[in-house]
């Protein structure tokens, strides 16, 4: 094998001989580069707002007084609160990018196994349910084959996948982005 390698590199200036181990390492490095290149881009929620667009602060006042449990139960069946900005501008350059975004899950569809496979990803807990929904550029409509167990929805998650700049509407809120989730895992502080 060494004679074949030497023949391949015969016309190249060499200060020291090429070893098979070096070639194997070079090949492995070349194969690993595409994996590094496709690592998702980690985003935070402000990155979904175009430069110069107004930043609308969240309205975190609850829609109902949770100390009044009986009233709260009837309020849950009441119509959803009006969304702050259902047609907020989006960042067009994010379309088609592999991203990683943390957030909270608001279920739209729940399977018979008790997993939500279609949901809204939002920047703070309770958005779209107990407080008015955030602007549409702060909501990502997620589709997932694996889903998340409904009893695990109280914690934040990382969602990875290809982001699409595509509006969608649900009974809870309008979203400015969509994504087919490739990975879903619990968010942990670094």
20-29, pLDDT tens digit by residue?
655 655 555 5
- The span from the CA of 129 to the CA of 127, in Å, is 6
- The reported pLDDT for the residue numbered 82 is 85
Q: If 0-12 CB within 10 Å is exposed, 13-18 middle and 19+ buried, where does residue 65 land?
A: exposed
Cα–chain center distance at 33: 23
> Taking all residues of the chain, what is their mean pLDDT, rounded to a whole number?
82
Query: What mean pLDDT is predicted for residues 13-17?
Result: 56
Regarding whether 71 and 25 lie in a shared domain, the answer is no
User: How much is the pLDDT for 58?
Assistant: 83
Q: Which residue has the higher pLDDT, 100 or 125?
A: 100
Q: What tens digit of pLDDT does each residue of 27-85 get? A: 555 665 555 557 999 999 999 999 999 888 888 766 555 455 445 444 445 455 789 89
Confidence (pLDDT) at 189: 75
Asked whether residue 73 falls in the same domain as residue 147, the answer is yes
On whether both 66 and 12 belong to a single domain, the answer is: no
Residue 119: the pLDDT is 98
Q: Which of 96, 185, 102 lies closest to 146 in space, CA to CA?
A: 185
What is the Cα–Cα distance from 163 to 18, expressed in whole angstroms? Answer: 44
Residues 179 and 89 in one domain: yes
Distance CA 187, CA 102 (A): 7
Domain shared by 69 and 6, yes or no: no
Pull the structure tokens for residue 136: 């549409």
If asked whether residues 102 and 153 sit together in one domain, one would say yes
Structural domain span for residue 91: 41-186
148, 72: one domain: yes
Q: Which residues pair with 102 in a beta bridge?
A: 158
CATH number at residue 110: 2.40.50.870
146 contacts 175 by C-beta, under 8 angstroms? no
Range 168-180 average pLDDT: 97
83 shares its domain with 133? yes
Q: Are residues 94 and 67 in the same domain?
A: yes
Same domain, 16 and 72: no
> CB neighbours (10 Å) of residue 178?
18
The predicted pLDDT at position 38 comes to 72
Identify whether residues 17 and 65 lie together within a single domain: no
Over range 147-157, report the average pLDDT. 95
Number of domains in the chain: 2
């Amino acid at each position: 094998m060494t004679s074949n390698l030497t023949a391949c590199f015969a016309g190249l200036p060499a200060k020291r001989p090429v070893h098979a181990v070096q070639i194997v390492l070079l090949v492995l490095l070349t194969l690993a580069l595409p994996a590094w290149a496709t690592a998702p881009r980690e985003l935070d929620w402000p990155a979904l707002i175009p430069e110069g667009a107004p930043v609308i602060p969240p309205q975190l006042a609850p829609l109902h007084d949770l100390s009044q449990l009986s009233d709260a139960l009837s309020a849950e069946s009441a119509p959803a609160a009006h969304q702050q900005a259902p047609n907020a501008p989006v960042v067009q350059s994010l379309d088609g990018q592999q991203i990683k975004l943390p957030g909270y899950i608001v279920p739209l569809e729940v399977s018979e196994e008790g997993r939500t496979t279609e949901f809204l990803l939002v920047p703070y807990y309770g958005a779209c349910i107990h407080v008015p929904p955030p602007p549409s550029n702060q909501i990502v409509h997620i589709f997932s084959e694996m889903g998340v167990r409904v009893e695990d929805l109280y914690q934040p998650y990382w969602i990875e996948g290809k982001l699409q700049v595509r509006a969608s509407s649900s009974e809870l809120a309008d979203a400015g982005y969509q994504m087919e989730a490739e990975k879903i895992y619990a968010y942990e502080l670094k």
